[in-house]
């Protein structure tokens, strides 16, 4: 079926017919848009809308209904306890330039998923703003991905100018940030930990299925350690030693994701290190690759990455690491082979887990009737539909937060004035884990 035929008559909500040329992927991928699956539309996640009461922050908060238990990327307790969780606000932004004004526009953007009680998505506030500063009315829906816990934000608008920006501010409840010294100490303690018994949990729910069933430590020419913790630590260290660090942008894509190819290439970054470690842990402990964002990087250190735009000031980068299931207890912990020391431990607070890689190409069909094509292996989802041809588009990036960057103070003020139910969730979670507010 031709792409134009496939998209003819797509409907936005209860509106009229909407012929939409697909503009969200590279030309090579745009020609491979798939038909919607025969499955019924996936329901949006339940939420409610609350108008912002801050005149400097126009728009509405779309607040997830946590009483309905949104699906989590990992629904297990943390193996290592963390301190009281904190509310943090972040923003993602992208720019779009079309050949002319759009009568209808929609966008699908990856949102961070939930990890235990250590990372919880609470709400989003979307904004579409023209190049002259005018606000374009828009709304947001939460779309669950095919893999449990993946969440996409669908921003929908009516008429848009030819040039505009799309941003999503979102609030997370996050683990406190651990310093490098704290992470190193925790990792060392965990690597020396001895299981209390040889029994292993066989829990099927609450943890992502692994990508690899073959491999094991022998894949990296390693013998098993005395304990599985020791083996995991050795695998992380060996993976780091096997890869020559490279900031070539190709290594930040899904082009070099196959562990056998990675071993032959011998170069890469966190993506390649993580995939090597993931395969080498097969049969040792269940693990899963997660797409993430690393926060709080020294701005001077960003200059070595060619993917950083000139003048881009937010101190963070895309990242990847493993979430690992403790075979004895079924609890989870993080394993990051890209650090100077093999990190094993709890959510360190300075990373945002974005999503799991999808296992198959598919089309996400939601109540808006927009057929969103999701490609397996694609790091992040950033898609658009418009009735205008695209002239220029920039990638979605993190641009601000209440923690870092030149606008941190303004975002902290917005967070302080955000709906009180955000703090109620934080208090409830902290009482459950610490008996405190």
The per-residue pLDDT for 185 is: 97
242 pLDDT above the threshold of 90: yes
CB 61 within 8 A of CB 89: no
15 pLDDT above the threshold of 50: no
The per-residue pLDDT for 377 is: 74
Q: Tell me phi and psi for residue 22, to 5 degrees.
A: -80, 125
Nearest to 45 by CA among 114, 173, 144: 144
The residue among 204 and 219 whose pLDDT is bigger is 219
Output the 3-class SS for the chain: CCHHHHHCCCECCCCCECCCCECCCCHHHHCCCCCCCCCCCCCCCCEEEEECCCCCCCCEEEEECHHHCCCCCECCCECCCCCCCEEEEEEEEEEEEECCCECCEEEEEEECCCECCCEEEEEEEEEEEECCCCEECEEEEEEECCCCCCEEEEEEECCECCEEEEEEEEEEEECCCCCHHHHHHHHHHHHCCCCCCCCCCCCCCCCCCCCCCCCCHHHHCCCCCCCHHHHHHHHHHHHHHHCEECCCHHHHCHHHCCHHHHHHHCEECHHHHHHHHHHHCCCCCCEEEEEEEEECCCHHHHHHCCCCCCCCCCCEEEEEEEEEECCCCCCEEEEECCCCCCEEECCCCCEEEEEECCCCCEEEECCCCCEEEECCCCCCCEEEEECCCEEEECCCEEEEECCCCCCHHHHHHHHHCCCHHHHHHHHHHHHHHHCCC
Output the 3-class SS for 152-193: EEEEEECCECCEEEEEEEEEEEECCCCCHHHHHHHHHHHHCC
Per-domain residue ranges of the chain: 3-175+359-434, 180-356
* Cα 341 to Cα 206, 276, 312, 357, 377, distances in angstroms: 28, 16, 29, 26, 27
The per-residue pLDDT for 376 is: 84
The per-residue pLDDT for 255 is: 78
Mean per-residue pLDDT, 166-184: 97
pLDDT class for 201, splitting at 50, 70, 90? low
The per-residue pLDDT for 389 is: 94
pLDDT class for 33, splitting at 50, 70, 90? very low
**Most confident residue range from 7-16, 87-96, 249-258:** 87-96
pLDDT class for 256, splitting at 50, 70, 90? confident
CB 216 within 8 A of CB 282: yes
63 pLDDT above the threshold of 70: yes
pLDDT class for 133, splitting at 50, 70, 90? very high
- What is the total residue count of the chain? 437
pLDDT class for 42, splitting at 50, 70, 90? confident
317 pLDDT above the threshold of 60: yes
13 pLDDT above the threshold of 60: no
Considering the segment(s) 180-356 as one domain, its CATH architecture is Roll (3.10)
Q: Tell me phi and psi for residue 165, to 5 degrees.
A: -115, 150
Residue 399, Cβ neighbours under 10 Å: how many? 19
The residue among 388 and 297 whose pLDDT is bigger is 388
Task: Return the structure tokens found at 116.
Answer: 């235990």
103 pLDDT above the threshold of 70: yes
**Most confident residue range from 13-22, 28-37, 44-53, 198-207:** 44-53
CA–CA gap between residue 434 and residue 437 (Å, rounded): 8
pLDDT class for 76, splitting at 50, 70, 90? very high
pLDDT class for 298, splitting at 50, 70, 90? confident
The per-residue pLDDT for 306 is: 60
Residue 10, Cβ neighbours under 10 Å: how many? 19
**Most confident residue range from 18-27, 281-290, 314-323:** 281-290
pLDDT class for 11, splitting at 50, 70, 90? very low
Of 147-156, 237-246, 249-258, 355-364, the poorest mean pLDDT is in 249-258
């Amino acid at each position: 079926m031709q792409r134009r035929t496939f998209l003819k008559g797509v409907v936005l909500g209860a509106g009229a017919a909407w012929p939409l040329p697909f503009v969200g992927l590279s030309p090579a991928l745009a020609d491979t848009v798939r038909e919607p699956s025969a499955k019924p539309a996936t329901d949006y996640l339940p939420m409610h809308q609350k108008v912002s009461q801050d005149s400097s922050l126009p728009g509405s908060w779309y607040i997830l209904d946590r009483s309905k238990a949104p699906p989590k990327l990992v629904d297990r307790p943390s193996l290592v306890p963390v301190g009281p969780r904190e509310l943090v606000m972040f923003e993602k932004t992208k720019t779009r330039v079309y050949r002319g004004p759009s009568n209808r526009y929609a966008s699908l953007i990856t949102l961070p998923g939930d990890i235990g009680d250590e990372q919880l998505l609470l709400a989003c506030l979307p904004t579409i703003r023209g190049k002259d500063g005018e606000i374009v009315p828009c709304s947001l829906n939460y779309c669950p991905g095919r893999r449990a816990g993946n969440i996409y934000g669908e921003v929908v608008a009516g008429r848009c100018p030819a040039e505009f920006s799309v941003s999503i501010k979102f609030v997370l409840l996050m683990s406190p940030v651990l310093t490098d010294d704290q992470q190193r100490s925790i990792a060392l303690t965990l690597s020396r930990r001895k299981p209390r018994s040889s029994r292993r949990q066989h829990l099927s729910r609450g943890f992502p299925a692994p990508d690899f069933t073959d491999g094991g430590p022998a894949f990296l020419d390693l013998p098993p350690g005395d304990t599985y913790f020791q083996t995991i630590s050795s695998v992380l260290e060996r993976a780091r030693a096997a890869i020559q660090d490279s900031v070539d942008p190709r290594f930040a894509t899904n082009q070099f994701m196959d562990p056998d190819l990675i071993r032959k290439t011998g170069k890469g970054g966190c993506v390649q290190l993580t995939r090597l470690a993931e395969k080498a842990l097969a049969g040792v402990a269940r693990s899963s690759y997660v797409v993430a964002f690393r926060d709080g990087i020294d701005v001077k250190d960003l200059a070595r990455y060619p993917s950083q735009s000139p003048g881009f000031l937010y101190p963070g980068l895309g990242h990847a690491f493993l979430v690992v299931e403790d075979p004895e207890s079924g609890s989870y912990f993080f394993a990051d082979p890209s650090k100077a020391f093999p990190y094993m431990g709890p959510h360190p607070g300075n990373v945002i887990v974005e999503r799991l890689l999808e296992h198959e190409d598919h089309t996400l069909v939601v109540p808006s009737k927009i057929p969103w094509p999701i490609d397996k292996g694609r790091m992040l989802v950033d898609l658009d539909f418009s009735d205008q041809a695209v002239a220029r588009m920039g990638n979605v990036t993190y641009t601000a937060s209440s923690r870092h960057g030149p606008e941190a103070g303004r975002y902290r003020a917005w967070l302080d004035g955000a709906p009180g139910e955000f703090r109620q969730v934080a208090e409830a979670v902290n009482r459950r884990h610490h008996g405190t507010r």
